[in-house]
């Protein structure tokens, strides 16, 4: 059938075909190994970079003496470090109950031994822990939360001070101002929930120059009134609306006769009502807070460098990312090269990086609890966000082969990861999330 084919060559052809198949399989296996090797190399690069960065030392910040007219600050840190020069070595211990932080701090601020220039030391009654910074950060977070939800009103991230004559007479607002000033100098993350108009007033802007946005008006009825006034199409429509809300206009200090109102008066009416609702109505309270900030030595700098302080008072979108968290933990303690423990630590570090990536989008737990990067940050720092001035010392990442759960020192800013689960990311993740949700305010120590 195949006269030109040498029958004796058929086995050779079959062997040749088998060799080609084997070579293809070997090439595929080499390609697959290369892909796995590339992944291992990438992880090895991450770990190597982490080890390299952990060995880099950080120097203490240089303090600029702003009392010298020729010296100008370049950042908020420069201003805060200058204010820290006024803090003495003498300490004042704040003995507070976690569920009564505000009232206990008001009590401390009324003591004769109290001074805004003394170094703050915090003791949470009934809890263990020696404060070297972490407890005080937690204290300021709880204090700021109370101010936001109990002394203010309005939108969550655009609050104005609430009018309260009794607290005004009791001197509460001035003491609040003092403690706000102390917190800004001694480890607090600020009060980034105030309306821009509130900050403008505290920073010394002339009241007639302050513009109040619609979102800064806390009273819903006043907002509706302004919407109606803004919708007036002509003089008659404006006069009719004004006659229906004349009580609001009069209470806000707008006294122009309704019959004389013109359509071009709408911007003036809106400015008057808005300014009264956000600033003038609570001017006495704001002035008392300003006096307290002055008592703490902060007001002068606030009014001199408002652009630096703005981030401490006005909300700015600042997304916490996995990359920022890794950068924050700049000191990483790994075991010596060649040790069996180092292999476990490297794998655990990769697990931690993967977990941070997941936490960026939030991880839902039972009971509709969403765990975020903020919970991780709070676990080892006591703060829900990175302060605008940063932390006063570098954060450290350690490893332990005996811990079942991660542990932390909020004072020393140390997070210790368990290496027991280096072979199982799911087990590592479970233990980490449990700790973030159940530490009660501080890391498990």
pLDDT of residue 443 exceeding 70: no
pLDDT recorded at residue 318: 73
Residues 6+ apart with CB under 8 A from 290: 177, 202, 299
Spell out a b/e string for 273-292, using b for 16 or more CB atoms within 10 Å of the CB, else e. Answer: bbbbbbbbbbeebbbbbbeb
pLDDT recorded at residue 445: 37
pLDDT recorded at residue 132: 74
pLDDT of residue 440 exceeding 70: no
What residues act catalytically?
A: 411
pLDDT of residue 429 exceeding 60: yes
pLDDT of residue 34 exceeding 90: no
pLDDT recorded at residue 222: 92
pLDDT band for position 156 (cuts 50, 70, 90)? confident
The more confidently predicted of residues 53 and 435 is: 435
Domain boundaries, the chain: 76-210+281-313, 216-275, 322-438
pLDDT tens by residue, 37-82: 554 545 555 555 555 555 444 444 455 556 665 678 889 989 999 9
* Distance of alpha carbon 259 from alpha carbon 243, whole angstroms: 9
Spell out a b/e string for 342-362, using b for 16 or more CB atoms within 10 Å of the CB, else e. Answer: bebbbbbbbbbbebbeebeee
The more confidently predicted of residues 300 and 33 is: 300
pLDDT recorded at residue 47: 56
pLDDT band for position 442 (cuts 50, 70, 90)? very low
Domain at 76-210+281-313, CATH class: alpha beta
pLDDT tens by residue, 99-146: 899 999 999 999 999 999 999 999 999 888 777 788 898 899 899 999
* 322-438 to CATH, choices 3.40.50.720, 3.40.640.10, 3.30.2410.10, 3.90.1150.10: 3.30.2410.10
pTM: 0.70
pLDDT band for position 320 (cuts 50, 70, 90)? confident
pLDDT tens by residue, 338-386: 899 999 999 999 999 999 999 998 998 877 788 999 899 989 988 877 8
CB 275 within 8 A of CB 207: yes
- Phi first, then psi: what are they for 409, rounded to 5°? -120, 105
Tokens found for residue 410: 């909020």
């Amino acid at each position: 059938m195949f006269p030109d084919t040498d029958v004796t060559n058929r086995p050779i052809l079959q062997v040749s075909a088998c060799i080609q198949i084997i070579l293809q399989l070997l090439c595929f296996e080499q390609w697959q190994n290369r892909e796995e090797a590339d992944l291992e190399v990438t992880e090895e690069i991450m770990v190597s970079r982490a080890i390299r960065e952990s060995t880099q030392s950080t120097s203490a910040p240089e303090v600029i003496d702003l009392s010298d007219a020729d010296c100008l600050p370049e950042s908020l840190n420069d201003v805060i470090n200058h204010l820290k020069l006024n803090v003495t070595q003498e300490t004042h211990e704040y003995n507070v109950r976690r569920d009564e932080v505000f009232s206990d701090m008001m009590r401390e601020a009324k003591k004769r031994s109290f001074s805004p220039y003394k170094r703050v030391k915090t003791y949470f009654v009934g809890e263990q822990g020696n404060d070297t910074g972490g407890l005080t950060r937690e204290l300021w977070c709880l204090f700021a939360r109370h101010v936001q939800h109990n002394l203010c009103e309005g939108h969550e991230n655009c609050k104005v001070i609430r009018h309260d004559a009794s607290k005004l007479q009791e001197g509460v607002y001035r003491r609040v101002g003092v403690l706000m000033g102390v917190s800004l100098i001694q480890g607090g993350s600020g009060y980034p929930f105030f309306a821009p108009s509130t900050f403008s007033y505290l920073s010394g802007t002339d009241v007639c120059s302050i513009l109040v946005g619609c979102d800064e008006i806390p009273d819903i009825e006043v907002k509706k009134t302004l919407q109606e006034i803004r919708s007036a199409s002509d003089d008659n429509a404006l006069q009719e609306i004004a006659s229906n809300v004349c009580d609001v206009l009069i209470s806000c200090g707008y006294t122009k006769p309704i019959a004389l109102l013109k359509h071009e008066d709408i911007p003036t009416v809106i400015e008057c009502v808005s300014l009264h609702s956000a600033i003038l109505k609570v001017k006495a309270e704001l002035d008392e807070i300003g006096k307290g900030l002055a008592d703490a030595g902060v007001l002068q700098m606030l009014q001199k460098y408002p652009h630096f302080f703005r981030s401490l008072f006005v909300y700015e979108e600042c997304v916490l990312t996995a990359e920022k968290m890794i950068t924050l933990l700049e000191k990483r303690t790994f075991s010596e090269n060649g040790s069996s423990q180092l292999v476990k630590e490297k794998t655990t570090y990769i697990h931690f990086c993967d977990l941070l990536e997941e936490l960026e989008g939030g991880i839902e737990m039972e009971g509709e609890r969403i765990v975020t990067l903020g919970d991780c940050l709070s676990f080892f720092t006591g703060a829900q966000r990175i302060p605008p001035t940063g932390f006063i010392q570098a954060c450290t990442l350690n490893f332990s082969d005996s811990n079942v759960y991660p542990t932390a020192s909020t004072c020393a800013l140390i997070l210790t990861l368990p290496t027991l689960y280096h072979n199982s990311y799911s087990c590592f993740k479970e233990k980490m999330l449990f700790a973030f949700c159940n530490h009660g305010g501080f890391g498990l120590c």
